[in-house]
Structure 1
């Protein structure tokens, strides 16, 4: 069962909170970390596909 974690932060590498959350999720199986800001400009169809193909958000 895949879990999609969608995050958005303009400077994610500098965010202690985001780094903590990502590190916490690293030990979990089937978790996909989906950073929206790294996908600009958005491909709406691809984003919709990522959401609909995940088992959990």
Structure 2
């Protein structure tokens, strides 16, 4: 699984969010890469999050 940093993390590389897409959903983690800080969400929950984020921006 390959994680990608958020494009919004450019200004502060020490405090980033990384996302990896898988067949069964999305994994989100702190850029420090700790497996203990991994959040797993399903595709529907991720889509709702993205829609909500775009509408509040």
- TM-score, L = length of structure 2: 0.31
Using CA pairs under 8 Å that are at least 6 residues apart, name the structure with larger relative contact order, 1 or 2.
Answer: 1
